[in-house]
Amino acid sequence: MDAAVALPFPTGPLSPELVLVSPPEIARLARMHLPAPAARPVTIEARPRVGEPGAVELAAVWTFCLAMTLGPVLFLLALNG
């Protein structure tokens, strides 16, 4: 006896979770009743090319980091000295 014949196909809407736990025959029948997906054209967006940081940007980052580190230290030394 075939399992697909023994288990009637549900007539109402079938949730994806139920298909996941259903026997393979029922899942196969449910997939056959799905509408075909609509074909959409694939579009690839061109992104601007981002290169390596230049010397000016790198110098700005180094200056900012040094100021954030040495600024409070120099301020404390000025208060205590």
Domain residue limits, the chain: 3-32
**What does the pLDDT read at residue 4?**
47
Mean pLDDT, rounded, of the chain? 79
Per 3-state DSSP, the chain is made up of helix, strand and coil in percentages (nearest 5) of 55, 0, 45
pTM here?
Answer: 0.35
How many whole angstroms separate alpha carbon 59 and alpha carbon 62?
A: 5
Structure tokens at 35: 């509408």
Residue 31, pLDDT > 60, answer: yes
Structure tokens at 13: 């809407």
